[in-house]
Amino acid sequence: MRLRDSRTPDQGSPPRTLKTAERRPSTLKPTPKPKIRISLLGGGQMTQKNPRKWPNSMKPRNSWAVSLFVFISPVSSSMIAPAMQNLGSDLGMQTEIEIYLSMAIFILAYAIGPTFFGPASELYGRVRLLQISNIWYLAWNLGCGFANTKAQLFAFRFLAGIGGSAPLAIGGGAVGDMWSAEERGKAMGVYTLGPLLGPVVGPIAGGFIAEYTTWRWVFWASSAAAVGIQLAGFVWLRECHPATLLRMRRDCLVKETGNENFHVEERAEALTHKLLHAFERPVLLSITQPIVTCIAVYMAYIFGVTYLMLATFPDIWTEVYDETRSISSVNYVSIALGSFTGLFLNLKFIDRIYRVLKARNNNIGKPEFRMPALAIGSIISTIGLFWYGWSIGTRYWIMPDIGAAIFAAGTISCLYQTYAASAMAACAILRSLAGFAFPLFAPYMYQSLGYQWGTSVLAFVTIGIVWTAPFGFWYFGRC
């Protein structure tokens, strides 16, 4: 549409044609400035901030720092075992359940904490959650040493377990952030030392502390260790979560330049939504996938028997072999030796078995090819349980130690297999509940059946659950 100018030729100017745009204000919006994408894959400073491009001296240091945080929680979970009887007497605990609850309630917190800390670390970063959770654990664990009633001890112990569960939920992801798939094997081996050594080192130290001082120093000593780990974290620990590093880099660039168009490619999601999904996925998997339910029951039983043994271990040598609390706690070394042996054999042969089966299947790998190692571990752990139970009370005190070592070697392949993250989340709650419940019924089982037949019952159930699971995974997983 064109309009004629209103002025006539006799006014001294020729007629001209005007465009509508010259008569009306423009309605077009200004073109927005393009977003500037931030990545950790670029050169220069961005490469230095990429955790997988860190110097070789920095990645091991950070991995060791993460492993220290993971180490202290398993130490605290079992450190009280040699001192439980003294603790129960001082705090007026009337039943065996109350005495064993002082240890087991820490494991109960493992069923709750990881479901929160895992999603939260994706929003706030690994380092912040590791340090805050360790301070939380430190405060409540220190409070356990000042508890004057059993109710106070139970409450403080549970709250300390909440904080102690965070490194177990975050640590594996932190190691994976720093190392590529080709490098991750050795790094995960270092990381695994914490869960392996912790439940063994704790009771050994706890036995000597309880005999020569008081049970309160069991908590104070572990709190002092947590302070040292916290200080090491302040010095060594660096953020390694890629999404968190990108957000930090974006905020820094916005502050330096005033340009708010920097952005990172991630889907914004509130913490409540992440928590909802974290609860929802494991539940749906457990309901809709029978194989996940089998894995959860399988791992829960092995975990429960392991903590039953850790809780009752000191009583065998003090009651049957008349050893002191400090000397009896040294027998936990047998579990450590068995665990290391099992870990060494597992790392040495599990990949070799997988490669052989993969080559026989036209070089196509399948998850079921991990099951032969699992089946071997199941058989070994059952043999260890029978040996352990029926050697208690024999002339030579080392015989139960040998049985415990065999059991520990077999359980390594059971507890440290690699499953999908959602499947592991589905296992976590049931596994923690088993670790909480099994030590509570242990004293009544052994009082009624004795050590020999009580442990044999556990071994027979192991045959029914643990032996059948690998074969079920092998055949039904191929369907």
Whole-angstrom Cα distance, residue 150 to residue 152?
A: 5
Residue boundaries of the structural domains of the chain: 47-268, 271-478
Hey, do 47-268 and 271-478 end up sharing a CATH topology, with the first three levels equal?
yes
Between helices 468-477 and 371-391, what is the axis angle to 10°?
170
Helical H runs in 237-331? 242-257, 271-288, 290-315, 325-329
Q: What angle do CA 48, 50, 54 make, to 5 degrees?
A: 60
Whole-angstrom Cα distance, residue 105 to residue 281?
A: 26
- Work out whether the CA dihedral 281, 301, 440, 148 comes out positive or negative: negative
Could you tell me if 140 and 12 are in contact, meaning their C-beta atoms sit under 8 angstroms apart?
A: no
Side-chain-side CA neighbours of 318 within 13 Å: the count stands at 18
R_g (Cα) of the chain, nearest Å: 30
pTM of the model: 0.79
Whole-angstrom Cα distance, residue 338 to residue 303?
A: 16
Whole-angstrom Cα distance, residue 22 to residue 31?
A: 20
Torsion-angle region of 362 (φ positive above 0: left; ψ -120 to 50: alpha; else: beta):
left
Whole-angstrom Cα distance, residue 409 to residue 150?
A: 36
Whole-angstrom Cα distance, residue 204 to residue 333?
A: 8
In tens digits, the chain (479 residues) has pLDDT values of: 444 444 444 444 455 544 444 445 545 455 555 555 544 444 444 445 777 778 877 888 888 888 889 899 999 999 999 999 899 999 999 899 999 999 999 999 988 887 777 777 777 788 888 899 999 999 999 999 999 999 999 999 999 999 998 888 888 778 778 877 656 666 776 777 778 788 888 999 999 998 899 999 999 999 999 999 999 989 888 877 777 777 767 667 666 676 665 555 555 556 577 667 666 766 677 677 777 777 778 888 988 999 999 999 888 988 899 888 889 889 999 998 998 888 888 777 776 777 788 888 888 777 677 778 778 888 899 999 999 999 998 888 899 999 999 999 888 766 655 444 455 556 777 888 999 999 999 999 999 999 999 999 999 998 888 777 777 777 766 55
Pick the CATH number of 271-478 from 2.60.40.10, 2.40.30.10, 3.40.50.280, 1.20.1250.20: 1.20.1250.20
Q: Which CATH number describes the domain made up of 47-268?
A: 1.20.1250.20
Residues 6+ apart with CB under 8 A from 243: 122, 264, 266
Residues 6+ apart with CB under 8 A from 209: 83, 217, 218, 221
The per-residue pLDDT for 420 is: 47
Residues 6+ apart with CB under 8 A from 3: 17, 18, 20, 23
* Bridging pattern class, strands 36-37 and 17-19: unpaired
Could you tell me if 262 and 116 are in contact, meaning their C-beta atoms sit under 8 angstroms apart?
A: no
The per-residue pLDDT for 42 is: 46
The per-residue pLDDT for 344 is: 81
In the DSSP assignment, the letter for residue 125 is -
The per-residue pLDDT for 250 is: 66
Which is nearest to 311 in space by CA: 151, 74, 72, 79?
Answer: 79
